[in-house]
Amino acid sequence: TACEASTEVTSKTTATTGDATTGHATTGDATTGAPECPEGQVECDDGCINPEVNVKHCGGCDQPCLMTQVCVDGACALNCAVDEQICGLECVDPLVDADHCGGCDQPCALSEFCVGGVCVGQCPPGTSDCANACVDVDTSPEHCGGCNLACGDDEACVAGECVLTCDQGLSECDGECVDLLNDKYHCGACETPCGGMAVCADGGCVDDCPGNKILCEAQCVNPNTDDEHCGGCFQPCPAQLSCAGGECK
């Protein structure tokens, strides 16, 4: 059957879980001394949060989303890459997915492959058959150097080998990508931790986050521009959006 209209929205998100009526949320109670939260926020273990977008408390306190999800309108939703689309409850690439070749629910025959969104009888030169898909094992992060040899999240496949590639502004320390300006354990340089309750801000250890930055998971971040903490802690933007003025746009 044809892919339903609700699964082909351009927002790249679809709700999967979440219930704003559950959890332990409260907006404050003068009789018990509970803190009063701003309108639209509730009190959880992490303080006042927005259950509409917070991935640790999506729809209510202690209702976390999966690592691959974002919180949209109080419900956990798929966070598909820009070149993917939602088919049912999964993100797919219609250019190479044999079950959704060219669009949702458009499968190729068992002996066919999906190449460029079209079903073909054999893989083009320079590609290999891996799990009924034609891939370039020199560049594929899922099949790097051979079928089913996947690279890590921070790695890219270069000439058939997985290599660590850090985003702009991040540096490699102990095999992981870190922000030397804000990382408590690599503050200003690798292997330079901040002691005690100190935090890292602008590459130096300080007692509290300066200016308009807030503390999120031992890091000082700017909620006006941080894609992972947009408008507040644990409020990541969907893959195709970025944080500007505390909002995903």
What is the residue-wise DSSP string for 114-174? EETTEEESSPPTT-EEETTEEE-TTT-SSSSSSTT-PPPTTEEEETTEEEE-PPTT-EEET
- Residue 249's alpha-carbon distances to 16, 87, 231, 237, in angstroms, are 22, 24, 12, 8
**pLDDT at res. 69:** 85
Q: Measured between alpha carbons, how far is 234 from 85 in angstroms, rounded to an integer?
A: 24
**In the numeric block, which tokens belong to residue 63?**
């209702």
Q: What is the pLDDT of residue 21?
A: 39
Q: What is the pLDDT of residue 4?
A: 38
pLDDT at 70: 87
Low-confidence ranges of the chain (pLDDT < 70): 1-35, 46
pLDDT for the residue 143:
95
pLDDT at 132: 81
Q: What is the structure's pLDDT at 34?
A: 53
* pLDDT, position 58: 92
| Rg of the chain over all Cα atoms, to the nearest angstrom | 22
